[in-house]
A and B are shown apart, each in its own frame.
Chain A
Amino acid sequence: MNEMNEVRKPPVATTGIIGWLRINLFFNWTNSLITLFVVYCLYQFIPWILDWTIFSADFKYNYLGEQITNQEMCSRNLDPENGGACWAVIYVRFYQFIYGFYPKVEVWRVNLAYIMLAFALLPLLYAKLPYRKYFLYFTYIFPVIAYFLLNGGLGFTEVSTNKWGGLLVTLVLGCTGIALAFPIGIMLALGRRSKLPVISMMCTLFIEFIRGVPLITLLFFGMVMLPLFLPEGIDMDGLVRVLVAVTLFQSAYMAEVIRGGLQAIPPGQYEAAKSLGMSYWRMNLLIILPQAIRISIPPIVNTSIGLFKDTTLVIIVGILDLLGIGRGTLADTNWLGLSYEIYFFVSLVFFIFTFGMSRYSLYLEKKLKTGINMGAD
């Protein structure tokens, strides 16, 4: 009996590529029909999109071999039969898309900040990085370095934030908003669940107020009202005002997400921690939060991605982020009518970042699950 069982293999038709195809694509006749229909649609669409974006597209020169400097020189405007996308607009305006109006002489500072950002993210992304501890120290001081590098001071010439733009603004808003909102959100979530009525009520009020107001309203609030609360003579930078609004907004959402995770922790965990003599903060930092945050990874990443995209709303208070620069370019008579190319490019850049975040969250979930069964048994 046993020997028979050991040599017995699953039926061939359910394994391998053929098995997969049979189960997923050609299970019965409706299934097969849908498969064929989808294949036909892809067959029509993929060659067309490849042709438009790559094979017939202009990158720097049009089909006559001239360097493109305005929309009239795009192949598709010279000869509608003959052209795809006109990426030259991105090529010509690339500097603005990435740096805004940052002075060209000082642009190495932005580049350095971009590179340092990559290094600061490394230890967060790879737990097995050699010398991770030292990288983490760098991650902690990176915001300070980045501030002086981008804004000026400490011997660097000052570059006022109204010269910042494009991807630079998008990343500054997104990264700072997400990084600051996380700890604030944790405090708010703990506060809302606190047994002390005053703290709990204040946190609840804050969360409900911020969550009940559209981000655009908060941005206007930051722009117009925030300076009223400051003592006279102190002028708050425009970007900082927007950052405050974005961070408050994000922390309210983060708080609710983390509160959801906290509610999933069984009361026995609190009791075990307390019975070992742990104080409130130790219990939360060592026992409760690590588990609650682990549960909340998908919604945390979800709201973070949401915020990253919502930063485009700063356009309404006159700050030009990536999308803002795109719209500005469209308003330029030289590049009138190239909205497909510009929106495609802006979407692609956003997609690269948000897709990266979503992949990272999957990696994190997988990594943290190994060997740990969060269930009762």
Chain B
Amino acid sequence: MSEESIISLKNVNKWFGDFHVLQDVNLEVKKKERIVVCGPSGSGKSTMIRCINRLEEHQEGSIVVDGIELTGNLKNIDNVRKEVGMVFQQFNLFPHLSVKENITLAPIWVKKMPKAEAEELAMRQLEIVKIPEQANKYPGQLSGGQQQRVAIARSLAMNPNIMLFDEPTSALDPEMIKEVLDVMVDLANGGMTMIVVTHEMGFAKTVADRMVFMDEGKIVEEASPDKFFNNPESDRTKLFLSQILHQ
């Protein structure tokens, strides 16, 4: 593991039943690096990033996040989860809490932050995602794009070093995709370490430091965006790109 790696996956294997979903996955992510992961559905890309904050357990190999190895040790898992924020395809906001409460909940209960301070923090995060006026609404009253931005604000409120995005725009109407991507671009420009699973190739070209292409549980190709889009090595990548770019 190189000195500056903040995430390191070594020979990671995972099975769902008999299905070998991750096969010898190796990935090193440096601090402040922005990685975009793409690939056809069922290729294991979501499973891979879900292993990084232990929403899924890997069965072989090692995953080290910010110097902490992910094992069965619950304390390590908690510590990693405090470092790593995650944004989901389905937003997963808490529907029984207001937008502000969604954001303040974890700082208050996990970080023991005083309520007033947490609320101030929530309002700052909502400014960052550009919807401070929605603070007192409930998730069910917001559009998909607004919900996803609240979800990003909720993760950011825990002040993570790393952000994982699991297809953050796949459940959105086309006109809402941009407002979410804009927030993510701002975040990337601010120096956040990010791993983004997405099919938004325009976003990938703008922010990615490195592209990772997965198929059938393996990392097929890893390259800079420039090389990846203009001169990919593997035929599988070429086929995928031709399909996705000609849509």
Contact = CB atoms under 8 A, between A and B. Distances in A.
A155 B139 CA distance: 55
B88 A272 contact: yes
Interface in B166-187: none
Interface string B56-96: 00000000000000000000001001101110101011111
A47 interface: no
A144 interface: no
Contacts of B140: 371-375, 377
A297 to B, nearest CB: 13
Contacts of B95: 291, 372-374
Interface string A239-277: 000000000000000000000000000101101111111
Instruction: Specify the main secondary structure of chain B where it touches its partner.
Output: mixed
A294 interface: yes
Given A275-B81, A277-B106, A286-B109, A371 B96 contact: no
A72 to B, nearest CB: 62
B138 interface: yes
A291 B96 contact: yes
A67 B201 CA distance: 94
A265 to B, nearest CB: 10
A294 B94 CA distance: 13
B92 A272 contact: yes
A352 interface: no
A376 B90 contact: yes
A272 B88 CA distance: 8
A10 to B, nearest CB: 28
A372 B155 contact: no
B78 A279 contact: yes
B160 to A, nearest CB: 9
Contacts of B11: none
A269 B137 CA distance: 19
B92 A271 contact: yes
Nearest to A368: B96
Contact of A276 (B90, B110, B139, B141): B110
Contacts of B151: 272
B94 A275 contact: no
B21 interface: no
A272 B94 contact: yes
Contacts of A376: 90
27 contacts: A271-B55, A272-B93, A272-B151, A274-B53, A274-B55, A275-B53, A275-B55, A275-B155, A276-B105, A276-B154, A276-B155, A277-B78, A277-B82, A277-B106, A277-B110, A282-B109, A282-B110, A287-B105, A291-B96, A294-B96, A371-B137, A372-B95, A373-B139, A374-B95, A374-B96, A376-B90, A377-B140
Interface of A: 266, 268-269, 271-279, 282, 286-287, 290-291, 294, 371-377
Interface of B: 53, 55, 78, 81-82, 84-86, 88, 90, 92-96, 105-106, 109-110, 137-141, 144, 151, 154-155, 158
| A-B residue pairs, 10 tightest by C-beta | A373-B140, A272-B92, A268-B92, A276-B106, A275-B86, A277-B81, A277-B82, A277-B110, A371-B138, A372-B138
